[in-house]
């Protein structure tokens, strides 16, 4: 067996016996991450459901009791048992009651500019509640318009003129891919970083701290072979953690009911083909090498595990932030974004999931990422060659 | 054989290091024109106070660091020009050498044998002989992290010897060891000498030097300040103990 393969075999044996690495590589991606994600989704859903099933209490000034808006709102409360009106003394009391969560909204009726202005006070922190108030006010507005039209002897159907229906031209795959496809590389990058982090510290800083590097450097192998052997293991760990996190996501969808809409689930499953997984892997490979290439020089520089951790941990944000930017809707892969490392891979993955990947942009993105990964590897090499960095 | 000729090593000092050392110098001369020869079948001791340059010398001989000037040859092979070939002949052991705690002795020995290009059959023969000699069989499959200091030292010895090196470099090999563990190292040095291997070792413990040494050199502030055979060294000042003579030489070199 060649020395390079010997190093890889030995490092893999060691890291698979390290509890921290096993935790970040296997337990978190396959077990904790799917459970946490499912709990998060279900909790959000629970609170949404709870907000929608809560009795909505809307306050108004007692003096406005006979106002048409209030009267129409009363009609709404008769039809919907989850809406209740509560008279108050004035605006100040209304606001105070909102802050105390005794009511959810307050109607302040002012005459201004000859038009009726309805000021709707609400807490502003509960979006579901605000949405429900708006819907009920819209119902009142619609009812009042119809009443006014009837008074003028006009049918509301005659006024509306036409009906319309929004119809998307994009396929369900494209819509899901563009809207949610950014989530995959985000997860991939976060776990690739996590997967690379501990092995990088263990294989470089740890070797220095434990005093084993000196012995290794006396072996008849080139220093670059040691570096690349170790680096391969760091990259493999990152890829493994990232791939296992995607497996964790897949398990969540199939066993933990993460995606409840059956139509959406079918679309998501149709995206996850062998070709997609392979291309995703090929796209993320230079990115993972880049991550390893950033972490390794820092791990080589650090003199202790603690120091390495304190330097590397904040870097997580720097790496994951571009992934978040790429995750945002509206940002597309074009000649400009294809030149921006990390973001280009996130956007390319999004396009890949949507089935709209332009291979010119893909080539540019992959080229840029490979170049920057090569630069990171070169920096690692230079750092590992420095005697003062490698020896304590 | 080890031949060290006009060996110099300079380290660049960072701002932080300059501040710590309270100096304006941009570099630190760790070794200056160091020369000596270690011959097969003899034990060469490199003595010197802390920071004298012992470890730098031995690391340069081991090919861990590159000299700024001068040459080191191991059995005629230049360590700078042909490092891998030269390293094949070197066994390197230090008192601070760590071992991979999550590997077993068997895995560790196989790893280093592989790095040194020792084939499996040869490795098994050598391993058995070393395990017999050091009584290592009963802990060969336990994780190194769970072994006692003495057991770990035996694993280190086995690791150093698995490729049957012709040249042995020991940098304070007994530092931090108890008497029993240190004895294993002393026996190893004696065995190496008996096998006509070239041995260089640095130590602070004068009793060890007296016990093992054939030739010696004293290094201070990166320069060799004394070098001779051990016999001549002792004969040059018969009334003084080795420690007293050593201190005298260091003090005299300070004055010079």
Distance from CA of A11 to the nearest CA of B (A): 10
Q: Is B10 on the interface with A (CB under 8 A)?
A: no
Cα–Cα dist A338/A331, whole Å: 11
Residue A69 is predicted with a pLDDT of: 84
Q: Which residues of B touch A391 (CB under 8 A)?
A: 59, 64-65
- What is the edge-to-edge ordering of all strands in the sheet holding B198-202? B90-94, B167-171, B198-202, B43-47, B215-220, B223-229
Of A191, A248, A193, whose CA–CA distance to A36 is shortest? A248
CB atoms within 10 A of CB A359: 8
Tell me which chain A residue has its CA closest to the CA of residue B61. Answer: A218
Contact B84 A221 (CB under 8 A): yes
Q: Phi then psi for B218, rounded to 5 degrees?
A: -110, 130
Q: What is the rounded distance in angstroms from the CA atom of residue A95 to the CA atom of residue A122?
A: 8
According to the model, what pLDDT value does residue A114 have? 52
Contacts of A222 in chain B (CB under 8 A): 84
Residues on chain B touching A220 (C-beta within 8 angstroms)? 83-85, 87-88, 115-117
Average pLDDT (B210-218) is 91
Distance from CA of A17 to the nearest CA of B (A): 6
Rounded Cα distance between A192 and A199, Å, is 11
- Tell whether B155 lies on the interface with A, counting CB pairs under 8 A: no
Which of B184, B244, B250 has its CA nearest to residue B220?
B250
Q: Which residues are CB-neighbours of A150 under 8 A, at least 6 positions away?
A: none
Answer whether residue A325 shows pLDDT above 90. no
Query: In the 8-state DSSP scheme, what is residue A220?
Result: S
**Chain B residue at shortest CA distance from A388:** B11
Give the rounded percent of residues in chain B with a pLDDT score beyond 70.
100
Asked if B112's CB is within 8 angstroms of A210's CB, the reply is no
Tokens 């090498």 -> residue: A289
CA distances from A66 to A72, A74, A140, A224 (A): 10, 11, 15, 86
Amino acid A77: pLDDT: 80
Inter-CA distances, A170 with A167, A179, A334, A356, B196, Å: 9, 12, 19, 10, 81
Q: What is the pLDDT of residue A115?
A: 61
Residue A258 has pLDDT above 80, yes or no: no
| The pLDDT of residue A270 | 82
A372 or A1, which is more confident? A372
**Chain B: nearest CA to A10, how far in angstroms?**
7
Q: What single-letter DSSP state applies at residue B203?
A: -
Tell me the shortest Cα–Cα distance from B74 to chain A, in angstroms.
13
pLDDT category of residue A239 using cuts at 50, 70 and 90: very high
Contact B183, B153 (CB under 8 A): no
Q: Quote the minimal CA–CA distance from B87 to chain A in Å.
A: 5
Structure-model confidence comparison of residues A350 and B176, the more confident one: A350
Q: Give this prediction's pTM.
A: 0.84
Nearest to B110 by CA among B126, B92, B96, B95: B126
Residues of B in contact with A214 (CB under 8 A): 59, 64, 92, 94, 96-97
To the nearest whole angstrom, how far is the Cα of B232 from the nearest Cα of chain A? 33
Q: Tell me: pLDDT of A157 over 80.
A: no
End-to-end CA distance of chain B: 32
**Contacts (Cβ under 8 Å, ≥6 apart) of A201:** A295, A299, A302, A305, A308, A309, A312
What's the whole-number mean pLDDT along residues A279-283?
87
A367 touches chain B (CB under 8 A): no
Residues of B in contact with A17 (CB under 8 A): 102, 143
Q: How many CB atoms lie within 10 A of CB A87?
A: 13
Residues in chain A: 392
Answer whether B127's CB lies under 8 Å from B158's CB. Answer: yes
Beta strands in chain B (DSSP E): 2-12, 27-38, 43-47, 69-74, 77-78, 90-94, 167-171, 198-202, 215-220, 223-229
Query: Which tokens in the block code for residue A97?
Result: 């009651």
| A residues 103..162 contacting B (CB < 8 A) | none
B contacts of A216 (beta carbons < 8 Å): 115
Tens of pLDDT, residue by residue over A349-365, are 888 888 888 989 999 99
Candidate from A1, A215, A220 with C-beta closest to B88: A220
Distance from CA of A208 to the nearest CA of B (A): 9
Of A214, A220, A388, the CB nearest to B84: A220
Q: Encoding tokens for residue B58?
A: 């031995």
What are the φ/ψ torsions at residue B54 (nearest 5 degrees)?
A: -60, -55
Report whether B201 contacts B34 (CB < 8 A): no
Nearest residue in chain A measured CA to CA from B160: A215
- d(CA A378, CA A297) in angstroms, rounded, equals 10
Q: Does A3 touch chain B if contact means CB atoms closer than 8 Å?
A: yes
Mutate to test the interface with A, among B12, B64, B82, B159 (most CBs of A within 10 A): B64
* Mean pLDDT along residues B99-103: 93
Those residues with Cβ within 8 angstroms of residue A267's Cβ, 6 or more apart along the chain or in another chain: A172, A173, A176
Cα distance between residue A136 and residue A57, in whole Å? 11
């Amino acid at each position: 067996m060649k020395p390079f393969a010997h190093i890889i075999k030995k490092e893999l044996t060691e890291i698979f016996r390290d509890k921290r690495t096993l935790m970040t590589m296997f337990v978190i991606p396959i077990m904790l991450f799917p459970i946490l994600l499912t709990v998060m989704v279900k909790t959000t859903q629970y609170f949404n459901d709870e907000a929608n099933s809560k009795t909505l209490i809307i306050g108004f000034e007692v003096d406005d009791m006979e106002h048409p808006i209030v009267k129409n709102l009363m009609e709404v409360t008769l039809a919907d048992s989850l809406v209740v009106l509560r008279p108050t003394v004035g605006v100040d009391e209304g606001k105070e009651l909102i802050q105390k969560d005794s009511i959810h909204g307050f109607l302040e009726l002012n005459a201004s500019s000859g038009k009726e202005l309805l000021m709707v006070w609400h807490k502003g922190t509960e979006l579901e509640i605000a949405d429900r108030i708006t819907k009920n006010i819209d119902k009142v507005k619609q009812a009042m318009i119809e009443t006014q039209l009837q008074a003028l002897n006009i049918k509301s159907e005659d006024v509306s003129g036409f009906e319309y229906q929004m119809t998307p031209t994009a396929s369900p795959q494209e819509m899901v891919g563009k809207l949610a496809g950014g989530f995959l590389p985000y997860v991939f990058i976060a776990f690739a970083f996590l997967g690379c982090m501990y092995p990088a510290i263990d294989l470089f800083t740890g070797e220095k701290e434990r005093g084993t590097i000196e012995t290794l450097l006396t072996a008849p192998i080139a220093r670059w072979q040691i570096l690349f052997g170790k680096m391969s293991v760091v990259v493999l760990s990152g890829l493994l953690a990232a791939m296992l996190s995607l497996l964790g996501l897949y398990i969540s969808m199939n066993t933990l009911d993460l995606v409840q809409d059956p139509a959406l689930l079918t679309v998501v499953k149709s995206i996850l083909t062998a070709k997609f997984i392979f291309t995703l892997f090929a796209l993320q490979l230079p990115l993972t090498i880049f991550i390893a290439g950033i972490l390794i020089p820092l791990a080589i520089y650090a003199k202790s595990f603690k120091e390495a951790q304190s330097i590397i941990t904040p870097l997580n944000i720097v790496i994951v932030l571009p992934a978040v930017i790429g995750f945002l809707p509206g940002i597309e892969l074009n000649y400009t974004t294809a030149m921006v490392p990390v973001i280009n891979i996130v956007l390319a993955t999004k396009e890949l999931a949507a089935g709209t990947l332009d291979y010119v942009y893909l080539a540019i993105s992959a080229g840029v990422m490979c170049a920057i990964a090569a630069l990171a590897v070169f920096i690692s090499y230079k750092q590992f060659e420095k005697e003062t960095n490698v020896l304590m | 054989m080890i031949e060290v000729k006009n060996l110099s090593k300079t380290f660049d000092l960072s701002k932080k290091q300059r501040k710590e050392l309270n100096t304006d110098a941009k570099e630190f001369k760790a070794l200056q024109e160091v020369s000596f020869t270690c011959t097969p079948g003899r034990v060469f001791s490199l003595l010197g106070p802390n920071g004298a340059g012992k470890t730098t010398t031995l690391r340069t001989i081991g090919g861990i660091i590159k000299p700024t000037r001068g040459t080191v040859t191991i059995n005629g092979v230049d360590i700078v020009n042909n490092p891998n070939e030269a390293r094949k002949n070197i066994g390197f052991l230090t008192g601070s050498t760590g071992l991979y705690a999550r590997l077993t002795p068997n895995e560790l020995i196989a790893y280093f044998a592989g790095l040194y290009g020792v084939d499996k059959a040869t490795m098994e023969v050598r391993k058995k002989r070393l395990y017999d000699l050091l009584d290592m069989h009963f802990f060969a499959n336990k994780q190194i992290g769970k072994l006692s200091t003495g057991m770990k030292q035996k694993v280190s010895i086995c690791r150093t010897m698995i490729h049957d090196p012709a040249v042995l470099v020991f940098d304070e090999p007994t530092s931090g060891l108890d008497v029993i563990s240190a004895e294993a190292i002393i026996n190893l040095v004696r065995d190496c000498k008996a096998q006509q291997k070239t041995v260089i070792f640095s130590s602070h413990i004068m009793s060890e030097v007296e016990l093992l040494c054939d030739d010696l050199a004293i290094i201070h502030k990166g320069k060799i300040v004394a070098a001779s055979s051990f016999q001549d060294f002792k004969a040059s000042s018969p009334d003084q103990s080795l420690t007293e003579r050593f201190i005298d030489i260091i003090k005299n070199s300070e004055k010079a």
